[in-house]
Amino acid sequence: MVSTAFTRLLKPLLLPLASGDHYIDPPVVLAPMAGITNAPFRTLCREQGAGLFVSEMVTARALIERRPETLRMIVPGKDEWPRSVQLYSVDPTTMRAAVTMLGKENLADHIDMNFGCPVPKVTRKGGGAALPFKRKLFTSIVGAAVEAAKPFGIPVTVKMRIGIDSDHETYLEAAQSAADLGVAWVALHARTAAQMYEGKADWSAITRLVEHLKPTGVPVLGNGDIWSGGDAISMVEQSGCAGVVVGRGCLGRPWLFTDLVSALKGEGKQVTPTLHEVREVMFRHANLIVEYLESEDRGMRDIRKHMAWYLKGFRVPREIRHDLGMVSSLQEMRNLLDQLEDQPYPTEVGEKPRGRTSHGRPPTLPDGWLNDPDELVHVELEDAFSGG
């Protein structure tokens, strides 16, 4: 059980919107995940208590080019508010244009900027977790976003990693720069880009960042290895962060947010759905995706990747598990799910790491990127892909 004194330490997170200050209470945020945090998944997490739910990462260039799939990615679910969009760009002009578009057309209430993505197709353009190393470029991009968002009353936040690798840590300086420019908060995934999703997150880096930004008054959110309500409590107690950002821990487990909210309120309740309860969440998720994509074929292809996460730890016949991973219609999925025998939630397995487990590797960077943090290296503008 969490002490009452502890719960009073964790204040609601302020999100200063044009319509008036909005408080995220408790401060629990769904991390943007490419191919995962579309409107249907955000709906499931929102219903379970997530205070803020960020869209999949979209590129600023794809947005201003009005690519249909990118525009679809920022459409909120029914009753979704605040509408939160995560942008990625390696160019200040493009970032400014995208933020201005979101503001003028009233397409977002909050903008998060991605400086944490470690995947090669992003870092090879100098984007994501690679970009904060270039101090002037980072400052120009963040400054352009904050300035463009200001007339519309849209708060801007940043999400970053510790740095490119252990020899090129940038989070303290970059966060200070972002804070000075006027971001509402800084979220830190406590790994380097080189780590990808390997090993344990270094929560001590979150602690250092909290102390570093105290004079600015800008809150720090912690991200990395939150698999249970207890993990969230431990992160807050150890680091003093103002809130938590949760990504892989909620894959196939949107009810994790109920656990997180309960833990951070000092209630200590835990949701342990039976397999029959989980299968109904799975089927609803599939229906939401089909409706969202307006295509049963596309929807069923999209839900397939979620099957193993939902069923993690449960005893499921190999044939049914295989067939669910290849399911092609809602009726077929219903028939397969109805064959599952009910059983208790596998707590020990269910709360263990899930999702990406990419092994660490040297990041793919533009030629000469690490020569000088102040030198602007010519990079090809980001591809207008819709994810990362």
CATH of the domain at 330: 1.10.1200
Whether residue 132 is preceded by a cis peptide bond, meaning omega within 30 degrees of 0, is no
Say whether both 11 and 70 belong to one domain: yes
State the Cα–Cα distance between residues 320 and 68, nearest whole angstrom. 36
Same domain, 45 and 156: yes
> Is 366 inside any structural domain?
no
The pLDDT assigned to 264 comes to 87
Question: Which of 207, 232, 264 finishes a domain?
Answer: 264
How many beta carbons lie within 10 A of that of residue 69, not counting itself? 12
Q: Are residues 239 and 306 in the same domain?
A: no
- 269 in any annotated domain: no
Indicate whether 126 belongs to any domain.
yes
| Residue tagged 């989070």 (tokens) | 171
One-letter amino acid identity for 93?
A: T
Residues 330 and 197 in one domain: no
| CA 213 – CA 384 distance, rounded (Å) | 34
Question: Across all residues in the chain, what is the average pLDDT?
Answer: 91
State the average pLDDT over residues 227-233. 93
**Residue 108, domain CATH:** 3.20.20.70
Tokens of 251: 């894959």
pLDDT for 161 beyond 70: yes
pLDDT higher than threshold 70 for residue 98: yes
Strands 52-59 and 28-30: parallel
The runs of H, that is alpha helices, within the chain are 4-9, 39-47, 60-64, 68-73, 92-104, 120-123, 135-149, 171-181, 203-213, 229-239, 256-264, 275-293, 296-311, 318-324, 330-337, 347-350
- In the predicted model, is pLDDT for residue 272 greater than 50? yes
Task: Specify whether 172 is located in the same domain as 194.
Answer: yes
pLDDT tens digits for range 173-229:
999 999 999 999 999 999 999 999 988 999 999 999 999 999 999 999 999 999 999
Which two tokens mark 252?
């196939």
* Structure tokens belonging to residue 258: 């109920």
Identify the residue with better confidence: 2 or 124. 124
Domain assignment present for residue 358? The answer is no
- Label residues 264-293 b or e (16+ Cβ within 10 Å = b): bbbeeebbeeebeebbebbbebbbbbbebb
Mean pLDDT of 103-131: 95
pLDDT band at 356 (very low <50, low <70, confident <90, very high): low
Query: Is 117 a catalytic site residue?
Result: yes
Q: Is 103 a member of any domain?
A: yes
Distance, CA of 82 to CA of 13 (rounded, Å): 13
For 285-340, what is each residue's pLDDT tens digit? 999 999 999 999 999 999 999 999 999 999 999 999 999 999 999 999 999 999 99
Say what the pLDDT of residue 388 is.
35
Q: Identify whether residues 119 and 221 lie together within a single domain.
A: yes
DSSP states of 62-107: HHHTT-HHHHHHT---TT--S-EEEEE-S-HHHHHHHHHHHHHTT-
pLDDT confidence of residue 382: 59
Query: By C-alpha distance, which of 52, 64, 105 is closest to 88?
Result: 64
Residues 105 and 231 placed together within one structural domain of the fold: yes
> Which two three-digit tokens encode residue 290?
């089909």
pLDDT at 130 exceeding the cut of 90: yes
Owning domain of residue 283: 275-342
CB-facing half-sphere around the CA of 81: CA atoms within 13 A? 6
Q: Residue 374 — pLDDT band, cuts 50, 70, 90?
A: confident
Rounded-to-integer distance, Cα 37 and Cα 297, Å: 19
| Chain Cα centroid distance, residue 207 | 20
Paired tokens of 250: 């909620």
Q: Give the tokens for residue 243.
A: 């809130």
The reported pLDDT for the residue numbered 384 is 46
CA–CA distance, 266 with 77 (Å, rounded to integer):
30
Specify the 3-state DSSP secondary structure of 386.
coil
246 and 284 inside one domain: no
Question: Could you tell me which residues come within 8 angstroms of residue 170 by beta carbon, excluding any fewer than 6 positions away?
Answer: 132, 133, 160, 162, 163, 164
> How far are the Cα atoms of 54, 112, 315 from residue 169, in angstroms, in the given order?
26, 21, 43
Q: Which pLDDT score is estimated for 347?
A: 84
Task: Based on the fold, state whether residues 301 and 181 are members of the same structural domain.
Answer: no
> Is residue 153, in this structure, part of any structural domain at all?
yes
Query: 255 in helix, strand or coil?
Result: coil
Cα within 13 Å of Cα(94), Cβ side: 20
Average of per-residue pLDDT across 223-239: 94
Let me know if residue 209 belongs to a domain.
Answer: yes
What would the mean pLDDT of 65-93 be, rounded to a whole number? 94
Give the active site residue among 45, 117, 241, 250: 117
Domain limit, last residue, from 242, 264, 286: 264
Residues 299 and 220 in one domain: no
**Within this chain, do residues 29 and 162 fall inside the same structural domain, yes or no?**
yes
Say how far apart CA 315 and CA 292 lie, in whole Å.
31
pLDDT at 4 over 60: no
65 within domain boundaries: yes
Q: How many structural domains does the chain have? A: 2
Q: pLDDT-based confidence at 25, cuts 50/70/90?
A: confident
> Do 46 and 137 fall within a single domain?
yes
**Last residue of one domain, picked from the residues 219, 245, 264:** 264
Residue 134 has pLDDT above 90, yes or no: yes
